[in-house]
Copies of this chain bind each other. A is one copy, B any other.
Amino acid sequence: MTSKHYSNLDLINLVDSFPNAATHPVSHAERLGELSILVHNTHTLGYILPSVTAVLKDAKLSGTHWRFAGKVITLTGETTEERSENIRKTTESWRENGIFDILRGWRNELYTVYSPKGREYFRLERSACALFGVVHMTAYTTCPLKIWVPRRNPAKPTYGGLLDNTVAGGISSGMSVFETLVKESEEEASFPESLIREKAKAVGNVSYFYQRMKTAGGEEGLLQPEVQYVYDLEVGNDVIPKPCDDEVQDFHLMDMEQVRKAMSWARGRLTISIVLLDFFIRHGIITPENESDYLEIGSRLHRRLEFPTW
């Protein structure tokens, strides 16, 4: 990873790596052919790798909460509570039996999976989401116009020592986007609540379909469609982010050129490229004149995902 130089589009291809039906129908069909589909009625909630399906079918490990019909998998349960309880029992059994590496990062934090009507369909331990290929939702913020870039704790198993977004955090069950941002800003950068409420500005969202790489920790190839809500936070020189938990080692104030260079050498967590590319496009740093892939980048940053959200 460290010896190759990546273009902006290379970075997108690494992150938004699941084939797109519209532009790559053959690879998309081939890839889908290998996967099982987690459904609610006829709607896709997530995609499941064969290695996960095999374990799901083992009632000793996974219980009897699952129904199988060819490629199609259903989680049983009449209510949101029942379904959440059933998938909890399954994933906790996997964790206890040490089945999947990715569950070593168990967070005790629940994400919501939505029905096609945007209602809560079930809740699921955050670290288990990629096993079912269900959509992640995240709130992000960047501080322009120089960017405060945190370097992750080198002792961390995932992305140790790499650059990260200023503040980012998954949206837990029952939390709104903005409340997630307030909470994470405090936890990750010691930003006071009043600063975020006053200055953080919603500026859009990005979305992509990530197939997890080795560097992400856990099994390779796990499926992670993601939606990220993006906020800009413009602060003066008097506001200095400070690490609060042990995720971040320290913050560096980098100018745009330094950030782009770090990105192009993949010195950051890969998925942050998406949010930063969107930042560069919104702020006229990447332009139609200096980036020949401008239009493709613009649509790739906003991939239409087939999974329901709220």
Contact = CB atoms under 8 A, between A and B. Distances in A.
Interface residues of A, number: 38
A176 to B, nearest CB: 7
A287 B230 CA distance: 10
Ranked nearest first, the 3 interchain pairs of A and B with the lowest CB-CB distance are A302-B302, A201-B284, A202-B287
Oligomeric state, in copies: 2
Interface string A213-250: 00000000000000101000000000000000000000
Interface in A20-52: 20-23
Given A178-B289, A289-B176, A204 B304 contact: no
A204 B23 contact: no
Contacts of A7: none
Nearest to A25: B21
Contacts of A299: 207, 302-305
Interface of A: 20-23, 118, 176-178, 201-205, 207, 227, 229, 281-284, 286-289, 292, 294-295, 298-306, 309-310
A294 to B, nearest CB: 7
A23 B294 CA distance: 25
A20 B304 contact: yes
A182 to B, nearest CB: 12
Contacts of A304: 20, 22-23, 299-300, 303-304
Contacts of A177: 288-289
Nearest to A20: B304
A306 to B, nearest CB: 7
A58 B310 CA distance: 52
Given A22-B22, A176-B289, A306-B22, A202 B284 contact: yes
